[in-house]
């Protein structure tokens, strides 16, 4: 294991001293995560997760922690950040803000580990989260665009194309990106008629990044059933239509592969369970797939990250992105039809979380 630089030790000691956690006895890089390099510190008082915030302003971090505190009061499994004596939950160290959490033991699943039973549990949990978040007043720090930003998306795609054109010998990755951009333009032209209903979709606070990497699982019980120990990483909390997160989470959690058949058992259980906790309206069900597809078309950050850095930890996601776009174009109507049928037939049951 590569030793951590002195700066990491210095920062962690400053944070621990500020919060009164004791001397750092051991410090390692936190497992997981493609972009963030977080730390796990051990002191005489226990183990702690030190998260370097992506945000330079303290107010945005405070809003994130307000959401965590709110859902915690409604029995949603989260880990609350440790506050200092003044009640502040972020500590300035080095050149950024650091947030410290008690260490939570838990495992992370990958898509191969998601069975229909697990998908149902996740759907119930996301429904409960949305039901609670719907009670929060006011927009979050960021909002999802209600209408596709077609002109801005075209400008961003053109900028990437210009970057590739300046490359003497375009790589296989460059060629893949060019194909992805061409397909995006095709979808932007085809989907314009479906955008009209987006502006009337109801909006609320969302987790913003609800996927397997942010779900810590308890070990399976004797019955063989795992449970969620904590929902973590609320940094991307945002305001928008919840159907975006319903579809995005399914996309990231379930192995949808290249056809609907393979992922259908898990998708069916996930959507059915979600609707039991947080029923959708008929217009929401109809717009679920078109809205998510439109948001994916204009989501270029994994591509742009590559050309900012020359190579990025997210390149693998960028490679998979084209297949995912195509999947939602070919199967989105079937998903929307199923969701609409469920909305007509599903009655709200007693909530699992209150």
pLDDT digits (tens, 9 = 90+) for 24-50: 999 999 876 555 679 999 999 999 999
* CATH for 6-102 (3.30.200.20, 3.40.718.10, 1.10.357.10, 3.90.1150.10): 3.30.200.20
pLDDT digits (tens, 9 = 90+) for 136-189: 986 666 788 777 788 999 999 999 999 999 999 999 999 999 999 999 999 988
202 with 244: CB under 8 angstroms? no
Nearest CA to 232 out of 253, 216, 254, 208 is that of 216
Question: Using 50, 70 and 90 to split pLDDT, how confident is the model at 348?
Answer: very low
pLDDT for 349 equals 41
Query: Which of the given ranges, 7-11, 216-220, 296-300, has the highest pLDDT on average?
Result: 7-11
* CATH for 111-345 (3.40.50.2000, 3.40.50.1820, 3.40.190.10, 3.90.1200.10): 3.90.1200.10
pLDDT for 266 equals 93
291 with 244: CB under 8 angstroms? yes
Sign of the alpha-carbon torsion through 156, 162, 167, 171? positive
Residues 6+ apart with CB under 8 A from 165: none
- pLDDT over threshold 60, residue 350: no
CA dist 143 and 63 (Å) reads 13
pLDDT digits (tens, 9 = 90+) for 184-234: 999 988 877 677 778 899 999 999 999 999 999 987 655 556 789 999 999
2 with 37: CB under 8 angstroms? no
pLDDT for 83 equals 98
Q: Which residue has the higher pLDDT, 87 or 33?
A: 87
| Same fold across 6-102 and 111-345 | no
Residues 6+ apart with CB under 8 A from 311: none
The pair of structure tokens assigned to 305 is: 């990250």
pTM of the predicted model as reported, rounded to 2 decimal places: 0.90
Nearest CA to 117 out of 273, 249, 256 is that of 273
227 with 216: CB under 8 angstroms? no
CA dist 156 and 136 (Å) reads 34
Residue extents of the structural domains in the chain:
6-102, 111-345
pLDDT for 140 equals 60
């Amino acid at each position: 294991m590569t030793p951590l630089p002195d700066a990491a030790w210095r920062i962690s000691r400053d944070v621990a001293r500020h919060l009164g956690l004791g001397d750092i006895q051991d410090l390692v890089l936190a497992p997981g995560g493609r972009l963030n390099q977080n730390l796990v510190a051990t002191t005489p008082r226990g183990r702690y997760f030190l998260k370097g915030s992506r945000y330079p302003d303290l107010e945005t971090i405070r809003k994130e922690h307000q959401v965590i505190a709110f859902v915690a009061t409604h029995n949603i499994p989260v880990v609350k950040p440790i506050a200092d004596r003044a009640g502040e939950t972020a500590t300035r160290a080095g050149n950024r803000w650091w947030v410290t959490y008690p260490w939570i033991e838990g495992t992370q699943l990958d898509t191969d580990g998601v069975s229909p039973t697990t998908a149902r549990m996740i759907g119930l949990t996301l429904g409960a989260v949305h039901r609670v978040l719907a009670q929060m007043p006011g927009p979050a720090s960021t909002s999802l665009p209600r209408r596709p930003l077609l002109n801005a998306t075209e400008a961003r795609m053109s900028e990437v194309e210009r970057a590739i054109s300046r490359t003497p010998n375009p790589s296989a990755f460059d060629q893949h990106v060019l194909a992805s951009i061409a397909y995006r333009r095709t979808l932007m032209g085809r989907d314009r008629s479906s955008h009209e209903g987006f502006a009337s979709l109801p909006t609320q606070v969302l987790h913003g990044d609800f996927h397997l990497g942010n779900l810590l699982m308890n070990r399976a019980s004797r019955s063989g059933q795992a449970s969620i120990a904590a929902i973590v990483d609320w940094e991307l909390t945002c305001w928008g239509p919840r159907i975006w997160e319903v579809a995005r989470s399914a996309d990231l959690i379930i192995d949808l592969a290249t056809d609907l058949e393979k992922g259908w058992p898990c998708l069916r259980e996930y959507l059915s369970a979600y609707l039991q906790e947080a029923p959708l309206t008929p217009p929401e069900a109809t717009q679920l797939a078109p809205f998510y597809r439109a948001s994916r078309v204009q989501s270029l950050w994994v591509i742009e990250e590559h050309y900012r850095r020359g190579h990025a930890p997210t390149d693998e996601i960028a490679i998979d992105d084209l297949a995912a776009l195509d999947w939602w174009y070919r199967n989105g109507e079937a998903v929307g039809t199923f969701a609409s049928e469920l909305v007509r037939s599903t009655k709200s049951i007693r909530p699992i979380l209150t």
